[in-house]
Structure formats: structure tokens, C-alpha cells
Amino acid sequence: MDQQLEQPELVHPGAEEIELPAVLHALSDPQRLRIVRELAASERPLPCGGIVLEISKSTRTHHFRVLREAGLIEQRRDGTCKLSTLRREDLDARFPGLLDAVLGAGVPA
Amino acid sequence: MDQQLEQPELVHPGAEEIELPAVLHALSDPQRLRIVRELAASERPLPCGGIVLEISKSTRTHHFRVLREAGLIEQRRDGTCKLSTLRREDLDARFPGLLDAVLGAGVPA
DNA sequence: ACCATAGTTCGATGACCGTCGTATAATAGG
DNA sequence: CCTATTATACGACGGTCATCGAACTATGGT
């Protein structure tokens, strides 16, 4: 078929390869948890720099890579910046209810 | 002659003090995940040694302590052994759906 | 009193993690 | 071309983690 949007240099696990310990570990860091929350809140691709974090650029890159390699987010290049999206469908399919539980956890009544 | 009313030496966080990152980190280790699963499956207190793990005793103690201090399990002494239970109610109250999602994750239909 | 059972405590060790600064791509626009 | 923006790669450093063995505590049974 036609598909010119190939970014093979970015490592993304397949939907079936997402491992629970890796996901939980990725989410166990407060900074990464915040990133995931913001991504979920915007429900639209965000650039790495679009998330407020008082950490250095290299650390931010590191966190995004951990999230991507764990299968939590998808990253795609768009011009000079890289857009990230939450892999909601893949995660819901593999671990039903997990993402909702994590996202809803920090938003008490 | 003596009364065994209290076990103050065991550190358990209050139900409201359970932190999400700590819980996720505790669950991100395969050994601890197995412990939690077994505890959930039995739905009745289990001794530390009652769970099959090919790790040394001291490592097992370590994992149980991580789980206890994260608020995932409750430990109580019973004679020569120490019984552990999943803190289902506290966890469900604080992070609704999280435990079910984690427990159901590795048990596909 | 003795001993067996069940866990803990104490270093120690090797691996991993979060963080940083600097240097290096990659791309858009003048 | 040059430059600014955006993000990655590469060490490096200190801290935490999972693991172990050996010594220790605590309890219960004989």
C-alpha cells in the first residue's frame, strides 16, 4: 500500500509485545507520570518541549524514550519537533482498565 | 501471661498515605508481581515461605518489605511465621480499578 | 534446655536509574 | 549558505535496587 510516513529509527514495541512490568516501571517515575497525564489530558500529539518540566533537555529525552520503549507512547517526527501521543488503544486492549485507573488516581474528588 | 495485642515494629502506611508511584514501583518487579498475584489468588493470608520463588530468603524478605511499605500488603505475625494479606479495600478505595487491572493483565481469557 | 522452623539484619556487590552538561544531528526559514 | 529551534547521543556521577550469604532473633515443640 501507500505509506510514505516511515520513521524506522524509532523503537516502538508492537501492541502485543508491551510488557506489564515495563509499563509499571515507566509509570513509577513522577516525571513520566506527569508526561503521561498531560498527554492524556490533551488527547492530541504534543511536542517534547510542550510539557512543563523543570528538568534538563537530555533528561526529558531520556524519559520520553523510556515511555516509548515501554509502549506507552508513540513518537513521530513533525518538522523540527517530535510529536508524542498516548497509545491508548493498544494499552486498553492489552491491559484493560490500567490506564484509566492510573490516570484517575491523582484526580480525587 | 503476656499479651500479643500489638506489632508496632511493622511499618504500614495508612490507607490515605499510599502513594501511586510507590505502588507502581512495587508492582514493576516480576517477583513482587508474582507475590501479589498469589496473594490475590488465595484471598487468604499466606506465609512468606508459602509462595514459590527461586530467590534467597533475604531477597524474599526484602520484596515483602517493599510491598508492605508501599501499602500493598499487610503483614502480621502468627506464631513462628508471618502472614501476609493483600490490602484490597484500601487499594480499591484509593486507586479504583488499579489492582483489578494489574491482576487481570497477565490472565488472558 | 534444646532444637527446628520462619524471618530478619547486615554488609557487599554488580546492575540499573535519574540527572546533568556538552556536543551533535535534523529541519525550517532567511 | 547561515542560524535558530528541537531533540538526540555520549559520557559521567551519585543514588537506588535486586541479589546474595552468613549471622542473628523469635517462636513453638519435644
pLDDT for position A106: 67
% of chain A at pLDDT higher than 90: 73
Task: Report residues of chain B scoring pLDDT below 50.
Answer: 1-5
CA distance A82 to A74: 10
Ordered by start, the domain boundaries in chain B are: 18-103
Which region among A4-8, A81-85, B54-58 has the lowest average model confidence (pLDDT)?
A: A4-8
Judged against a pLDDT cut of 90, whether residue A76 lies above it is answered with yes
Residue A27: list chain B partners with CB under 8 A.
Answer: 21, 24
CA distance B67 to B73: 6
The one-letter amino acid code at B108 reads: P
What's the half-sphere exposure (Cβ side, CA atoms, 13 Å) at B80?
1
pLDDT for position B75: 96
Yes or no, beta carbons of B102 and A20 under 8 Å apart:
yes
Q: Which of A39, A42, A32, A31 is nearest to A70 (CA)?
A: A32
CA distance B103 to A65: 26
Q: Is B27 in the A-facing interface, judged by CB distances under 8 Å?
A: yes
Mean pLDDT on A45-59 = 89
Residue A33: list chain B partners with CB under 8 A.
Answer: 20-21
Residue nearest to nucleotide D18 (CA to C1'): B59
Statement: the pTM of the whole predicted model exceeds 0.85? yes
Judged against a pLDDT cut of 80, whether residue A1 lies above it is answered with no
- pLDDT interval class at A28 (50, 70, 90): very high
CA distance A68 to A70: 5
Q: Which of B31, B35, B24 is nearest to B94 (CA)?
A: B24
Q: Which of B65, B59, B72, B64 is nearest to B99 (CA)?
A: B72
Record: fold of A18-103: Arc Repressor Mutant, subunit A (1.10.10)
Give the angle A6-A10-A16 at the CA atoms, nearest 5°: 95
Judged against a pLDDT cut of 50, whether residue A26 lies above it is answered with yes
